[in-house]
Chains A and B, each alone.
Chain A
Amino acid sequence: MQFLYTLVISLLLLSINSYASGDLAEGKKIYNETCVSCHGVTGASDTGIQLTVKPRRLKDSILTTKQMAQIISEGGHAYGAHSDMMPAFKYVYEEKQIENIAEYVSQTFNSKRDARVKKHLSEENVKKIDAKKMHKIGKKIFKRNCSLCHGLKGDGDSIYVEQSKANKEFLFPYDLRKTIMSEDQIFLIVKFGAHYWGADKEDMPSWKKKYDDTKLRSVAHYVKKNIVGTD
């Protein structure tokens, strides 16, 4: 009886394991067929491909597996990217296949993501202030700094972007209204800059030398509450 019980459990574990690795194997297969030409074999975007907008270094991405799957499915533009260089793969792959790609990227290249995010959030030093004051600080900084690229509405349309085009210094600020990032993720991008989290350039710079965590958290709070989801 005990032998039978052990056999059943072993078979069950084996089936779960082979299912998981089967998922990853499929994710890997599709990644290597489709994603690799832009994002590279190790997710380092080191393929040398000449694109106006350089692909993200997936190995440094702040996005969760679920968020990655959403972007693979709907394309980057649907979630605020300026261009549609990252296309919508929902027309090519099934939902489960897309989840497998995201899982493969998360587990293979970006396995340190959660630890990085957790570490930085644990080091956050925010003074306790009420929501009204936080809104006031966030709004002031957004208007003073962020809006110059992202626009007052956060839609990525600004004079700075237009002037930079004239000099062929192309900038592609995100349409923040469409972002799927959490307040914590916005805070970490504002604090460390987009390059740290996988963007090619430092066009979205790190603001940690200029503002303390309380002010940076206020900006993230303001963006999440007042910009994201607006038209």
Chain B
Amino acid sequence: MKKIAMMLFIAGALSATLSAKNWVIDQKGKTFIPSKLTVHVGDTITFKNSDPFAHNAYTDDESNEFDVGMQPTGKETKMTVNAKESFNIECAIHPNMLLEVTVE
């Protein structure tokens, strides 16, 4: 019984990992493109920067805490969605940038 439970757990985890998706968000014209995203726990979000200046994407959401720091033009960075809790990502430099992430 214990073995079956363990196998089911491993199978579940494996399936979640295999089905995890990577979403790409560009930062262009001081805007997150797209500006809304629906993801699942385990998914990753890649942030590109196509602007000719740096950005600093971050969230203060405790379950999905994330802060890229200074991200120069052309550099990519990635975060993993850890918790089933929707959150917003902002840019610390440009206050009108907002990415709404819904976690299902």
Interface residues of A (CB under 8 A from B): 144-145, 148-149, 159-160, 163-164, 166-169, 171, 205-207, 209-210
Contact = CB atoms under 8 A, between A and B. Distances in A.
A145 B92 contact: yes
Contacts of B93: 145, 148-149, 160
A168 B90 CA distance: 24
Interface stretch (B3-11, B38-46, B50-58, B77-85): B50-58
A121 B7 CA distance: 65
A128 to B, nearest CB: 25
B96 interface: yes
A164 B95 contact: no
Interface residues on B, range: 10 to 19
Given A164-B53, A169-B52, A205-B95, A210 B90 contact: yes
A142 B90 CA distance: 16
Contacts of B70: 148, 159-160, 163
Contacts of A144: 92
Interface in B61-75: 70, 72-73
Contacts of B73: 163, 167
Contact of B53 (A169, A206, A209, A210): A169
B94 interface: yes
Contacts of B53: 160, 163-164, 167, 169, 171
A210 B90 CA distance: 10
B65 to A, nearest CB: 13
A156 to B, nearest CB: 14
A209 B95 contact: yes
A168 B52 CA distance: 8
Contacts of A164: 52-54
Contact of A148 (B52, B56, B90, B96): B56
Contacts of B94: 205
Given A163-B53, A171-B53, A210-B90, 19 more contacts: A148-B92, A148-B93, A149-B93, A159-B54, A160-B53, A160-B93, A163-B54, A163-B70, A164-B52, A164-B53, A166-B72, A167-B52, A169-B52, A205-B94, A205-B95, A205-B96, A207-B95, A209-B95, A210-B95
A206 B30 CA distance: 14
A166 to B, nearest CB: 8
A145 B94 CA distance: 9
B90 to A, nearest CB: 7
A105 B73 CA distance: 41
A209 B52 contact: no
Nearest to A165: B53
Nearest to B70: A159
Contacts of A145: 92-93, 95
A169 B93 CA distance: 15
5 contacts: A148-B70, A163-B73, A167-B53, A205-B95, A210-B95
